[in-house]
Amino acid sequence: MGRVIAIANQKGGVGKTTTAVNLAASMAATRRKVLLIDLDPQGNATMGSGVDKYEVENTVYELLVDEKPASEVVVTDTNGKYHLVAANGDVTAAEIKLMEVFAREVRLRNALKAVRDQYDFIFIDCPPSLNMLTVNAMAAADSLLVPMQCEYYALEGLTALMDTVRQLAEVVNPELAIEGILRTMYDPRNRLANDVSEQLKQHFGDKVYRTVIPRNVRLAEAPSFGAPAMYYDKSSTGAKAYLALAGELIRRAEKKQTQAVNA
């Protein structure tokens, strides 16, 4: 059964979509079967995958509101070699419509049941706010990957996010756990970044990924070409960092499986 990982942070501009697209592509490059779900009405993960959000027939709206089967909504042809459930401005209406329906918090979880076995990893790119779409992502996810910049305010935001996760876990998903914390846009020459990085490691220990994502021009340029960084410039430090992150996730997943078997 595929592992469902929501990529979330209530703070915007921390590299959520960049992480979603590039991690999905890196996982696909290791011959894993990957599905990326774009839950953000801005549709940036959709465009960054080389899919025109204005031309796509079905989006998350059809999946959550119209309850179309996931197999009919999935786009199989992307520039990242993974499958995609797209998003565009219609998804804003989905959030409003969801407020009127029964069991609205678990629409995504229920929609994924039929396809989970077809994928090794399912990544969900969450919007940068706590709304019904984010709640759906957290209800559907096994765990949460939190990208964050190493800044003072980011630490405060992380504390708020942890509180939200605990509250949501009690209500909609008792199994929800923190998969890991990813340091993004990292500049080792910045003293504050190093200080915050150390604080993160002290507080969260091995939940902090060893891999750090550097500030990288190629990572920033790739979305405008509709491609993940590894297909835009595979030699860039950003592309290599996300491949390293994929490797770290795989090793962690294999370690958990081994521990579960031996328990």
Structure tokens at 231: 């297909």
More confident residue, 10 or 97: 97
Whether the Cβ atoms of residue 1 and residue 116 lie closer than 8 Å to each other = yes
Which segment of 85-94, 151-160, 173-182, 203-212 scores lowest on mean pLDDT?
151-160
Mapped onto helix, strand or coil, the DSSP state of residue 135 is: helix
Q: In the prediction, which pLDDT does 72 show?
A: 96
86 half-sphere exposure, CB direction, 13 A CA radius: 24
pLDDT in tens, 216-259: 999 999 999 999 999 999 999 999 999 999 999 999 888 888 88
The phi, psi pair for 84, rounded to 5°, reads -140, 140
* Strand ordering across the sheet containing 121-125: 83-85, 34-38, 121-125, 3-7, 143-149, 177-186, 208-214
Mapped onto helix, strand or coil, the DSSP state of residue 233 is: coil
* pTM of structure: 0.95
pLDDT above 80: residue 1: no
pLDDT above 80: residue 263: no
Whether the Cβ atoms of residue 139 and residue 106 lie closer than 8 Å to each other = yes
pLDDT above 80: residue 82: yes
Q: What residue type is assigned to position 96 of the chain?
A: I
Instruction: State the Cα–Cα distance between residues 154 and 55, nearest whole angstrom.
Output: 36
Q: In the prediction, which pLDDT does 157 show?
A: 76
Whether the Cβ atoms of residue 65 and residue 96 lie closer than 8 Å to each other = no
pLDDT above 90: residue 110: yes
Q: With bands split at pLDDT 50, 70 and 90, how would you rate the model's confidence at 208?
A: very high
The average pLDDT across 163-180 equals: 87
Q: In the prediction, which pLDDT does 250 show?
A: 94
Q: Which CATH superfamily is domain 3-262 in?
A: P-loop containing nucleotide triphosphate hydrolases (3.40.50.300)
pLDDT in tens, 132-155: 999 999 999 999 999 998 887 777
Whether the Cβ atoms of residue 46 and residue 84 lie closer than 8 Å to each other = yes
The average pLDDT across 154-183 equals: 86
Q: Where are the domains of the chain?
A: 3-262
Which segment of 134-143, 152-161, 193-202 scores lowest on mean pLDDT?
152-161
Q: In the prediction, which pLDDT does 33 show?
A: 97
Q: With bands split at pLDDT 50, 70 and 90, how would you rate the model's confidence at 26?
A: very high
The neighbour count for residue 157, using CB atoms within 10 Å, is 18
Q: With bands split at pLDDT 50, 70 and 90, how would you rate the model's confidence at 95?
A: confident
Q: What residue type is assigned to position 249 of the chain?
A: L
